């Protein structure tokens, strides 16, 4: 048992805003009683629930492709040295698995959601997730360009499509559904794209990206999946794409939806030269429609490697930058593109992107619906989150940074007019309580009795980036994992998955279609349950039992 | 700059109407490849199978694979890089002299015809083997081919893929990458991963005599490596884990017989397109799996005092 006394607590899930309270921990959960055990004096310190990352790329074929493409970065970055209890690893743009766990925990994050997994290589993703220590994990499967499902929608077999969706989620041992450039990646298989909701999808006559987003959101709601459709919209990164994003939002009225990395989808103008922020317009619509959540996908200046299932976009980025290009098309399911990238403050487009990420976080007024992310590693690496927190909490610092932007950015962004500063309570919401709620992880991001004892204790510090970058203590499952920058323990995290219901005869329906499309045997395709270490199956709504996890 | 533009094998099966093999001989080295993944398969997009596909073989000699190809281009030995670079120029309508083309052993007419066919394809794929990547020019040759494939995407869909062999070499590459950031040629002797092919690759370490022990799993360097490397293996304590007695076993201090993976031991094999396949044992073996032996050795070593003490937890910059 353990007691933490005197800390100032920010626990948005329970409405606790900066109150001094004691916390008791027993058996890895918060408890109402304390009999005996260690006491930690947190007087004068700030306590928040452990961070939850709703959208990151830390495990599987795509980030591993990114690692392969960037040895020059591994060579210059910080290195973790092995000990008898710790594995070695490298940080940087695409950290190795062990280092990923250390770096997330090192800044107080205790749950991460790997946002893009092809079912075909889900076995690989789980092997990597098993090698990420300390944090708990979940993953989303890429299904919005799955030709077997698209064929069924084309044939008007919506009910069957829903069943197949459920089958795929369980086959991948996954937690939900990610849609990337719906229809566009399918078109990319023949070198095309589908940029708008009414665009043609190569090989299909009756369905459009609009059909896919609308039907997928509905199917996911009907299956009772805890996390809504996790959507990377069409037309990412392009000037003027705000129209596509707004149109997508209109399509999704009446359904739940999570808009991933909204920063990349909030641009006006019609050319790189006149690209401008449309964050204000997007935020206005978003504020008025409470069916949606989003994560920022904020950009920070510096080097990174971009990684996405959006193959056609990455081909464009390769042509724009002339840098290394990795592409991996996955049969029947999805794609993957890798391009190293440097965001420069002197570059007008990059400067607009930097501003848009912050504008969305500041203009969306409900912190329960907008979450901190950089779409790691696309906008910046996850270990730079403390820098974003500083930008959100200090308007003066923001203004200082804006002085470095090109002069002609005037009238292209609205950031200079925004004076809002985040409070600690709001930071705890966008980094933990909010994303946990959106993921449907009710025992996360919450310091209430019976919830998982994942928490972080910070020194009060005027230097916000230092405060959030160097916690005094990090607890995972009631255990001290980080103490004053030292990694104390490296427990294995849990992995969350769901088993949505599908009719048992779906196997025999799917088999011939599968054998026609894939080049492995049907029996070898689903990931075996015993390959998931510390699996926790979460309930879908409509399941019999109450919420909470069960084995 | 190029990069690596590729796909899983099912994409080739479903879509590739134009297939190039360069410096490889799948008919003899990957005997199931043509029938399972590439030439013979029919699909929604290529309903007539082989008839809907054009196949080109580029090699220094007419191997058995030439019979399976529609066109055979015999490149002069050691001129692969030149030929690939000429093709990169020709697709962009840049000027190439007759003499430069003649050096490759092929004619401009043949190359122009090849490029026309490449550009007319809906989905092109280039497979390359060790005849490209392990001959004069080595990784520069592979880079030239990968760049050609990347640049072809300005005209039509094109991908490239190495024809890998040797069991689960891709799996080793994939796992080393997620654990250390690098695929091979890694040194951990400072307590963190460093990468330098040519310095830390197995053959270089052995030839220099830099190790005082060797631990070999599922490989037979005693049969394939240069003599100085083999001599060093014989000199130091070498431990071999293998289902069979190999050349390396004969010069080792210890050989531990293990169950063959995929036949009598479970696990994961990564296909050459990096798709992970479950290995389901069909037979029982009296021998332990490689994994079990390694785990037991590790548990024993863990009981000994750590030889690397007083190391910091992390260093900000590598030296």
Residues B298 and A337: their CA atoms lie apart, in Å, by 38
- Bond preceding residue A170 cis, omega within 30 of 0: no
User: Does A34 contact chain B (CB < 8 Å)?
Assistant: no
CA-closest candidate to residue A260, choices A91, A68, A454, A439: A439
What is the DSSP track for B127-193?
EE-HHHHTSTTHHHHHHHHHHHHHHHTTTSEEEEEE---TTTHHHHHHHHHHHHS-SSSEE-TTSS-
- Half-sphere exposure in the Cβ direction for A33 (13 Å, CA): 3
Q: What would the DSSP string read from start to end of A480-505?
A: EEEETTEE---PBPPEEEE-----TT
Quick: pLDDT tens for A89-111: 999 999 999 999 999 999 999 99
The pLDDT tens digits of the residues spanning A396-423 come to 999 999 999 999 998 999 999 999 999 9
Bridge partners, residue B239, by sequence? B215, B254
Closest CB to B314 among A81, A191, A328: A81
Q: What is the ipTM of this complex?
A: 0.95
Phi, psi of B204 (to 5 degrees): -70, -40
Q: Which long-range contacts (CB under 8 A, 24 or more apart) does A542-547 make?
A: A542/A224, A542/A501, A543/A224, A543/A501, A547/A442
The b/e string for A483-517 (b: 16+ C-beta within 10 A; e otherwise) is: beeebebbbebbbbbbebebeeeeeebbeebbeeb
- Interchain contact, A331 vs B315, CB within 8 Å: no
Contacts of B307 in chain A (CB under 8 A): none
Residue labelled with tokens 């993921």: A439
- Summarize pLDDT for A123-164 with one digit per residue, the tens: 999 999 999 999 999 999 999 999 999 999 999 999 999 999
Q: At A550, is the pLDDT very low, low, confident or very high (cuts 50, 70, 90)?
A: very low
Q: Are B27 and B68 in contact (CB under 8 A)?
A: yes
Q: Which of B10, B27, B20 is nearest to B55 (CA)?
A: B20
Which of A78, A319, A323 has the CB atom closest to B315's CB atom? A78
Q: Which of A81, A329, A518 sits opposite B191 (nearest CB)?
A: A81
pLDDT of A549: 43
Q: How many CA atoms lie within 13 A of B300 on its CB side?
A: 6
Question: Which has the closest alpha carbon to A521: B279, B168, B282, B261?
Answer: B279
Give residues 489 to 518 of A whose Cβ lies within 8 Å of B: 516-518
Query: How many CA atoms are closer than 13 Å to the CA of B87, on its beta-carbon side?
Result: 29
Closest CA to A470 of A46, A2, A13, A29: A46
Q: Percentage of chain A with pLDDT > 90?
A: 97
Here the tokens at position B309 are 């003490």
Helix (H), strand (E) at residue B82: helix B80-91
Residues of A in contact with B5 (CB under 8 A): 325-327
What is the reported pLDDT for B1? 63
CATH architecture of B169-302: 3-Layer(aba) Sandwich (3.40)
Percent residues over pLDDT 70 in chain A: 98
- What local confidence, expressed as pLDDT, does residue A84 receive? 87
Tens-digit pLDDT profile for residues A177-210: 999 999 999 999 988 999 999 999 999 999 999 9
- Written as one string, the DSSP assignment of B237-274 is -EEEEESS--HHHHH-SEEEE-PPBTTTB-EEEE-TTS
Q: Has residue A547 got a pLDDT over 50?
A: no
A428 φ, ψ to 5°?
Answer: -60, -30
What pLDDT is attached to residue B318? 85
Report d(CA A153, CA A163) in Å as an integer.
12
Going by their DSSP bridges, the two strands A257-259 and A229-232 should be labelled as: parallel
* CA dist., res. B309 & res. B311, Å (int): 5
- B179-210 pLDDT, tens digit per residue, is 999 999 999 999 999 999 999 999 999 999 99
First to last CA, chain A: 24
pLDDT band at residue A542, thresholds of 50, 70 and 90?
A: low
In the 3-class helix/strand/coil scheme, how is A197-246 assigned residue by residue? CCCCCCCCCCCCHHHHHHHHHHHHHHHCCCCCEEEECCCCCCCCCHHHHH
Question: Distance between CA A94 and CA A306 in Å, rounded?
Answer: 10
Q: Give the position of tokens 């920010």.
A: A10
Mean pLDDT over each residue of chain A, to the nearest integer: 96
* pLDDT (0 to 100) of residue A454: 98
Characterize A120-156 residue by residue with b for buried, 16 or more Cβ atoms within 10 angstroms of its Cβ, and e for exposed.
bbbbbbbbbbbbbbbbbbbbbbbbbbbbbbbbbbbee
Confidence of residue A365 (pLDDT cuts 50, 70, 90): very high
Over range B70-75, report the average pLDDT.
98
- Is the pLDDT confidence value at A551 over 50? no
Give CA separation, B68 vs A102, A299, B9, B17, B62, in Å.
52, 51, 18, 15, 11
Contact B179 A330 (CB under 8 A): no
Which of A225-229, A545-549, B281-285 has the least mean pLDDT?
A545-549
Domain ranges of chain B: 9-162, 169-302
Tell me the C-alpha distance between A296 and A353, whole Å.
Answer: 11
Higher pLDDT, A53 or A85: A53
- The tens digit of pLDDT for each residue in B209-263 reads 999 999 999 899 999 999 999 999 999 999 999 999 999 999 999 999 999 999 9
* Residues whose CB falls within 8 Å of the CB of residue A34, separated by 6 or more in sequence, listed in order: A1, A3, A22, A24, A26
Q: Is the pLDDT of residue B59 over 60?
A: yes
**pLDDT for the residue numbered B159:** 97
* pLDDT score, position B85: 98
Q: In this complex, do A127 and B270 lie within 8 Å of one another by their Cβ atoms?
A: no
Contact A421, A362 (CB under 8 A): no
d(CA A338, CA A329): 12
Number of residues assigned to chain A: 551
Confidence of residue A81 (pLDDT cuts 50, 70, 90): very high
Contact A86 B37 (CB under 8 A): no
Question: Is there a contact between A524 and B1 if contact means CB atoms under 8 Å apart?
Answer: no
Identify whether the C-beta of residue A537 lies closer than 8 Å to the C-beta of residue A549: yes
User: In this structure, what token pair is assigned to residue A350?
Assistant: 């990059």
Asked if residue A121 lies in contact with residue B275, where contact means CB atoms within 8 angstroms, the answer is yes
pLDDT of residue B167: 79
pLDDT reported for residue A543? 59
* Option in B3, B6, B315 nearest A79 (CB): B315
In chain A, residues with a C-beta closer than 8 Å to the C-beta of B178 are: 59, 64, 67, 96-97, 127-128, 131
How does DSSP classify residue A162? H
For residue B313, give how far its alpha carbon lies from the nearest alpha carbon of chain A (Å): 6
Say which of A69, A88, A518 has its CB closest to residue B192: A88
d(Cα A186, Cα A189) in Å, to the nearest integer? 6
B17-47 pLDDT, tens per residue? 999 999 999 999 999 999 999 999 999 999 9
Residue B310 has pLDDT above 90, yes or no: no
* Neighbouring residues of B34: CB distance < 8 A, sequence distance ≥ 6: B26, B27, B40, B68
Interval B134-159 mean pLDDT: 95
| d(C-alpha A292, C-alpha A231), whole Å | 11
DSSP state of A301: S
- The answer regarding whether domain B9-162 maps to CATH 3.40.228.10 reads yes
Query: Contact, B282 vs B299, CB < 8 A?
Result: no
Tell me what the pLDDT averaged over chain B comes to.
95
């Amino acid at each position: 048992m353990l007691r933490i006394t005197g800390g100032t607590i920010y626990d948005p899930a329970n409405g606790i805003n900066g109150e001094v309270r004691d916390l008791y921990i027993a058996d890895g959960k918060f408890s109402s009683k304390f009999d005996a055990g260690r006491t930690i004096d947190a007087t004068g310190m700030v306590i928040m629930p452990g961070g939850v990352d709703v959208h990151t790329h830390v495990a599987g074929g795509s980030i591993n492709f990114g690692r392969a493409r960037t040895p020059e970065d591994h060579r210059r970055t910080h290195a973790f040295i092995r000990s008898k209890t710790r594995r070695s690893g490298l940080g940087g743009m695409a950290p190795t698995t062990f280092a990923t766990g250390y770096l997330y925990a090192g800044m107080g994050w205790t749950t991460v959601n790997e946002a893009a997994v092809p079912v075909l290589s889900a076995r690989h993703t789980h092997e990597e997730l098993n090698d990420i220590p300390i944090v708990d994990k979940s993953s989303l499967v890429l299904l919005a360009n799955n030709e077997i499902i698209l064929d069924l929608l084309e044939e008007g077999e919506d009910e069957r499509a829903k069943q197949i969706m459920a089958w795929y989620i369980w086959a991948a041992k996954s937690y939900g559904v990610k849609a990337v450039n719906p229809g566009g990646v399918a078109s990319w298989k023949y070198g095309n794209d589908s940029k708008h909701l009414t665009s043609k999808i190569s090989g299909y006559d009756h369905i459009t990206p609009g059909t896919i987003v609308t039907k997928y959101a509905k199917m996911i709601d009907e299956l009772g999946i805890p996390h809504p459709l996790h959507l990377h919209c069409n037309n990412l990164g392009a000037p003027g794409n705000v129209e596509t994003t707004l149109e997508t939002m209109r399509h999704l009225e009446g359904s739940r939806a999570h808009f991933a990395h909204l920063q990349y989808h909030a641009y006006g103008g019609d050319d790189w030269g006149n690209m401008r922020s449309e964050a204000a317009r997007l935020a206005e619509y978003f504020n008025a429609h409470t069916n949606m959540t989003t994560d920022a996908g904020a950009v920070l200046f510096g080097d990174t490697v971009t990684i996405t299932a959006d193959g056609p976009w990455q081909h464009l980025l390769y042509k724009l930058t002339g840098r290394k290009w990795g592409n991996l098309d996955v049969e029947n399911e999805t794609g993957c593109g890798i391009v190293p990238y440097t965001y420069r403050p002197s570059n007008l487009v990059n400067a607009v992107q930097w501003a848009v990420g912050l504008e969305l976080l500041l203009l969306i007024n409900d912190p329960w619906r907008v979450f901190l992310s950089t779409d790691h590693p696309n906008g910046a690496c996850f270990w730079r989150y403390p820098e974003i927190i500083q930008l959100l909490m200090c308007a003066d610092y923001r203004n200082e940074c804006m002085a470095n932007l090109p002069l002609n950015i005037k009238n292209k962004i609205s950031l200079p007019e925004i004076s809002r500063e985040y409070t600690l309570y709001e930071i705890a919401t966008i980094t933990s309580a909010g994303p946990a709620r959106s993921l449907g992880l009710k025992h996360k991001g919450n310091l209430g009795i019976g919830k998982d004892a994942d928490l972080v204790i910070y020194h009060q510090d005027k230097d916000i980036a230092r405060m959030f970058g160097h916690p005094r203590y990090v607890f995972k499952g009631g255990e001290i994992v980080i103490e004053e920058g030292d990694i104390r323990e490296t427990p294995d995290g849990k992995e969350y998955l769901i088993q949505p219901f599908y009719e048992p005869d779906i196997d025999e329906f799917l088999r011939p279609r599968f054998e026609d499309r894939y080049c492995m045997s049907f029996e070898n395709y689903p990931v075996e349950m015993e390959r998931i270490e510390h699996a926790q199956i979460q309930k879908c709504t409509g399941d019999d039992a109450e919420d909470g996890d069960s084995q | 700059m190029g990069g690596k533009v590729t796909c899983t094998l099912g994409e080739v099966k479903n879509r590739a109407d134009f297939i190039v093999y360069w410096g490889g001989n799948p008919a003899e080295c990957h005997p199931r490849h043509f029938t399972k993944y590439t030439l013979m398969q029919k699909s929604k997009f290529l309903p007539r199978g082989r008839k809907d596909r054009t196949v080109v073989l580029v090699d220094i000699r007419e191997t058995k694979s030439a019979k399976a190809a529609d066109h055979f281009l015999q490149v002069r030995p050691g001129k692969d890089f030149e030929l690939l670079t000429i093709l990169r120029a020709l697709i962009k309508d840049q000027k190439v002299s007759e003499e430069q083309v003649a050096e490759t052993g092929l004619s401009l007419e043949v190359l122009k015809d090849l490029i026309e066919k490449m550009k007319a394809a809906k989905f092109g794929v280039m497979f390359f083997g060790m005849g490209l990547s392990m001959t004069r020019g080595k990784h520069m040759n592979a880079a030239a081919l990968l760049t050609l494939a990347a640049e072809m995407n300005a005209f039509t869909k094109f991908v490239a893929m190495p024809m890998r062999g040797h069991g689960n070499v891709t799996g080793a590459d994939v796992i080393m990458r997620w654990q250390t950031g690098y695929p091979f040629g890694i040194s951990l002797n400072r307590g963190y991963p460093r990468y330098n092919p040519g310095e830390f690759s197995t053959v270089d370490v052995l030839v220099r005599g830099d190790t005082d022990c060797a631990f070999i799993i599922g490989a037979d360097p005693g049969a394939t490596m240069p003599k100085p490397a083999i001599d060093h293996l014989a000199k130091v304590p070498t431990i071999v884990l293998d289902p069979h007695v190999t050349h390396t076993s004969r010069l080792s201090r210890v050989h531990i017989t293990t169950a063959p993976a995929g036949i009598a031991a479970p696990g994961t094999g990564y296909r050459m397109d990096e798709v992970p396949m479950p290995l389901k044992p069909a037979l029982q073996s009296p021998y332990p799996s490689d994994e079990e032996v390694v785990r037991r050795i590790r548990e024993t070593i863990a009981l000994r005092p750590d030889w690397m003490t007083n190391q910091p937890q992390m260093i900000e910059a590598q030296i």
